[in-house]
Amino acid sequence: MHLTLTSLTGDDVFMLEIDDQMALEDFKAVFSAESSIPADNVVFFHNNAPLGDNKATLASYKIKDNDIIGFQTVEAGAQADLMSALASMASQAQNRGNQGASNEPAPGSKRARNNEDPETIRQVFLSDPHQLSILRERNPDLAKNINNPSLFKEALLKQRKVMQEREQNKLRLLSNPLDPEAQKMLYEEIRMANINENMETAMEFSPESFGTVHMLYIDCKVNGVPTKAFVDSGAQMTIMSKACAERCNVMKLLDTRWAGVAKGVGVQKILGRAHMVQIEIAGTYLPTSFSILEDQTMDVLLGLDMLRRHQCCIDLKDNKLKFGALNIATPFLSEGELPDYAKLSANGANGSTSADDSDLKNALEQSAIEASSSKGKSQNSNSSKTYSEADLGKIVELGFNKSDAIKELIRNNGDMNKAIGALMARALTPQK
């Protein structure tokens, strides 16, 4: 008999002429020779059902002449697991399909969990604070309506409906393993199972990775005022908040010519720079320059510029910040000694993220306003010409573009000769 074999994706098609009394294992061998796919790496399907018994003949599977056989390649050794999973899913689908509306619970019998009274469930959670806390963590949409019976019932019934639709859709897909959507669902379930297994393994062998790592802070004094400094080797410069600068009497040294915008994880406005401020660490006075930020959570941040200057070493084994150039060291603060803004919790971290997003938005808006303002000022300054029309006409007569000529005249304060020199130098520069 003639058979057409096609992959589930439809990418590969093979035509074979086979005896209907051939055993499945022999059929796999013939197919392997024809397709170069190892026999142990292929599973066949007929009428949406997997062919699992290698000793059975093709006729016993009711395969007829000119039938189409589907096949799926799997990893070596995974055939048994796949066949078992498909058989289990098909069995569950059949059992659930047999449980129709006729299987109603007897009067007075205990209802299934999905048919429990929403008010009873609500009272159970209200009577058990521990279960209520779990509900708040795992199902916040339902927990927020716990004190309102009607809203709780509505939310619960809505969630049940979604779960039932999802379950029905799953059963519908599993009834046809050849359906691409069913293949996607199986792939997603396998992927999530692998992710959960990986997480469970991590929780067993490296549970510390799920804990909170507290940042590195040290005690210091700025102009004799005690404060706590955050050690950040990933920051390019040493910074100080405006509030801390006012508290430590540093604002009088602020040089606003160094104002700008600090860009990193977020965006913050730099008010200026204090070029030399005495900071005391471990009894030693160090002259340090600080960039003052307008809205900075941390009082002081020691950046890479200072760490490099004093050859600092972050020694996590001894839990100390060591200054190689000065041969001194200071311990990092314990969790209890950290400032309030550095003590992260689950809720605090979320709130901090929200606040950072708000700060970032405000900073970007302020930066856009200032950029627009500076652009307007620049245009106004450009409008007041620093060059004469006669000079501009002479440069244009030489063959240079008018807009380029205006730019060079402005840049050179109306000096025609310098502008011509700059334009000629640009024209003689080879284009890359």
CA distances from 176 to 24, 71, 163, 173 (A): 22, 14, 21, 6
Per the CB < 8 A criterion, the answer to whether 275 and 242 are in contact is no
User: Which stretch of DSSP H or E encloses residue 342?
Assistant: none
Beta bridge partners of 314: 321
Structure tokens at 60: 């016993």
**In one letter, which amino acid is 380?**
N
pLDDT of res. 316: 93
Average pLDDT per 10 consecutive residues for the chain, totaling 432 residues: 76 80 84 80 79 83 83 65 58 52 46 62 83 82 88 88 81 73 81 90 87 88 93 91 92 89 76 92 92 88 93 94 92 89 53 49 56 50 64 80 83 80 67 48
Q: DSSP secondary-structure letter at 233?
A: T
Q: Residue 153: phi, psi to the nearest 5?
A: -65, -45
Active site members: 232
Place of tokens 């806390």: 133
User: 38: which residues sit within 8 A by CB, 6+ positions away?
Assistant: 32, 76
Distance CA 256, CA 241 (A): 15
Q: DSSP secondary-structure letter at 5?
A: E
Per the CB < 8 A criterion, the answer to whether 7 and 71 are in contact is yes
Q: How far is CA 276 from the centre of its chain?
A: 40
CA distances from 199 to 186, 188, 209 (A): 20, 16, 11
Domains of the chain: 2-80 (3.10.20.90), 117-208 (no CATH), 217-342 (2.40.70.10), 389-428 (1.10.8)
CA distances from 304 to 15, 222, 294 (A): 69, 18, 21
User: DSSP alpha helices (H): ranges in 215-322?
Assistant: 242-247, 304-309
Distance CA 127, CA 281 (A): 55
Place of tokens 């074999």: 5
Q: Residue 20: phi, psi to the nearest 5?
A: -70, -15
Q: DSSP secondary-structure letter at 114?
A: G
For residue 219, the SS3 value is strand
Q: β-strand 267-281 against 217-222: which pairing, if any? A: antiparallel
Distance CA 131, CA 118 (A): 16
Distance CA 61, CA 49 (A): 10
Distance CA 44, CA 29 (A): 13
